[in-house]
Structure 1
Amino acid sequence: MHSLTPCGCKGARSCILCSIDKVNHLNSKNFATDENTFIYCPFCHLAHNFHCVIDADWCESNELVTTLCRIYIRSETFNRCILECLEEHLAKKTSERLTVCGIFVFCSFMDPKYEAKIIEEIECFQWKASQSGRLKQDFGPKPNFKKKKLRLESFTGLPSFSEKLLPKLKVEANGVLDDFEAVEQCHLDYDPIRGSHIDMHYDDFWLWGDRLVTVNLLSDSIISLTHPQLPYTVLIGQPRYSVVVLSSEARNEWLHGIYPNHIIDRRVAITYRELTKEMKSTEVGRKVTEIASNFGAVQTSS
């Protein structure tokens, strides 16, 4: 179900519906000519200089997104670094490398049948217009970010399909999510028709814990990292059916976002968040954790 609200942008946020100029400006960044662009490898956990991995003549975003995600799947299949899986794409034999700790990508988390079932359940909830051309569905406590307080009256738990999805995540994540307790679930709908994207940002540190978990559905995409004190951009492929976890350095020191030209088709993302240790130890935090253990929730009101 989709909201009829044409645009949910506020302040500096924008989409094609309210400011095509800003979207075009974001799309003007050419990673193929930027020597400070790096591509993260999910196998060796290093970021390799773009020009050493992919032919710099590839300037079309759709081709970049599709090719990078195909490389990721090949790397996982053969259990090898992306540099060893690119005979037809490798531009150079050596690579300038960058270390960014805390990035994990699991490419083949679900199959098409499982995805279709999850999407069917998601579509039973109401989509609402959000910032930057996105639609959203929220299930979690309602934060007041200025006062750093939570409202719980409309929070009844997480959607029923997460009762099986969350344990599957823990099994497939090779220990990365063993003690992960999701207390907030957000569904985001991206579509190139709306110029959907998300500006570079940090998730709030006072509330959300170290691990940000995203399940990527319906299409391939790329999430980008930038650093406030370094000139580098790190591109992380998000193949369809994959899970991406940002934690430690990647979550706390690097900003993350998605450029509009890295959305090549409709994409639905399921994002799970945990509480900080400090918030979890409070009375409110314990109540949030208790509510989140219930499944079959109703949608959180705005």
Structure 2
Amino acid sequence: MSTSILYRRFSCCNVKVTGGEDNFTYCPATGLAKGNERSEFAGWAFPFPGVFLTEEFISKDEESEIVELMDRDDWKPSQSGRKKQDYGPKVNFKKQRLKAGSFTGLPSFSKKIVAQMKACSVLGGFLPVEQCNLDYMPERGSAIDPHFDDWWLWGERLVSLNLLSKTVLSMSCESEDSIQLFPTFSKENGELSPPGSLTQTSACKNSGEEGINCVLSPRLVPSREVTVAIHLPRRSLVVLYGDARYKWKHAIYRKHIEHRRICVTFRELSAEFSAGGTQEELGKELLEIALSFQGRPV
């Protein structure tokens, strides 16, 4: 699957972040991670592939109905102040063992959500085999540490529906590689912004040229020094794939949980459990259960 940037129903990149660990903000309109104004990277940007983000994926009435149905079932305590409801097979990730267990399928209310996903260009052929509902509350200090979702069982695309309140998905990278930044331009006057932060090549300095006529050298920064904020509006749907799935860890910090928030995450099977994989038959069995949409939390 291509890791090209995809954009839908966003037109604004002027989100301002005040403080915090994140020093770049993802812009859905351009697919760029842009340096925050109060960081040392103001005026710099780099491509951030592997994110698809769409606002108002469901309506307010649909959101209310979904949350009401969720709250009819028990929420089990989870880590870091979260509560959860799981709809999925029984898994031992350490021993890489998998069986249906008490899994009875995804919940009935998810059938419409999954059907609506077909309209998203990056979700062609997406067949969710697992659904996890996570309940975040500021009073509980709810958060989730930077992590990768498992690669053995779960496939490339991670799909999350953000309910009840806005939040920020914080992306971080532990790679030893460097990221090449380029200066951003002001649309109003066509000038580089901010001019004082740019690095000139030696040839440019010797020529005496200035401004946009001057060739600029790339700015390299260690990946470990970069954190990217992806702003998730209420009722938005986000898909992580490619680099955003396999190279960058994702997290939700406590400071970004201002009100109750529910995250509904759908996961697909990896190649090992899909057509042609070594465990194709088990994958078929689990998908048949999942897509019956008759499930209760396990």
* Fold in common (TM above 0.5): yes
Contact 2:171 2:248 in 1 (8 A): yes
Contact 1:38 1:98 in 2 (8 A): no
| Among candidates 27, 49, 52, match of residue 41 of structure 1 | 27
What is the deviation of 1:34? 7.1
Q: Are 2:168 and 1:170 aligned?
A: no
Q: Are 2:236 and 1:242 aligned?
A: yes
Residue matched to 1:278: 272
| Among candidates 161, 174, 194, match of residue 215 of structure 1 | 161
Q: Which has the higher strand share?
A: 2
Residue matched to 1:81: none
Residue matched to 2:60: 112
CA distance in 1, matches of 2:286, 2:89: 7
Residues 96, 35 of structure 1: alpha-carbon distance in 2 compared, 3 angstrom cutoff: farther
Residue matched to 2:136: 190
For residues 201-238 of structure 1, the C-alpha deviation after alignment (integer angstroms, 9 at most, x for no partner) is 00011011101000000000000000002110000001
Structural mapping, 1:129-140, within 5 Å: 129-140=77-88
Contact 2:22 2:170 in 1 (8 A): no
Paired amino acid for 2:150: D
Which structure 2 residue ranges, 5 or more long, are not aligned? 1-16, 176-222
Q: Which has the higher contact order (CA 8 A, sep 6+)?
A: 2
Paired amino acid for 1:106: T
Contact 1:36 1:233 in 2 (8 A): yes
CA distance in 2, matches of 1:212, 1:276: 11
Residue matched to 1:296: 294
CA distance in 2, matches of 1:255, 1:97: 19
Residue matched to 1:102: 50
Contact 2:21 2:227 in 1 (8 A): no
Residues 291, 259 of structure 1: alpha-carbon distance in 2 compared, 3 angstrom cutoff: same
Paired amino acid for 2:85: Q
Structural mapping, 1:221-260, within 5 Å: 221-229=167-175, 230=223, 231-260=225-254
What TM-score, normalized to structure 2?
Answer: 0.74
Structural mapping, 1:39-118, within 5 Å: 39-51=25-37, 56=38, 95-118=43-66
Which structure 1 residue ranges, 5 or more long, are not aligned? 1-30, 58-91
Q: Are 2:199 and 1:201 aligned?
A: no
What is the deviation of 1:107? 1.1
Contact 1:35 1:50 in 2 (8 A): no
Identical residues among aligned pairs (%): 45
Residue matched to 1:262: 256
Residue matched to 1:78: none
Paired amino acid for 2:286: V
Q: Which has the higher helix share?
A: 1
Corresponding residue pairs, total? 229
What is the deviation of 1:169? 2.0
For residues 6-45 of structure 1, the C-alpha deviation after alignment (integer angstroms, 9 at most, x for no partner) is xxxxxxxxxxxxxxxxxxxxxxxxx745797110011111
CA distance in 1, matches of 2:20, 2:230: 16
Which structure is larger by alpha-carbon Rg, 1 or 2?
A: 2
Paired amino acid for 2:248: W
What TM-score, normalized to structure 1?
Answer: 0.73
What is the deviation of 1:170? 2.0
What is the deviation of 1:181? 0.5
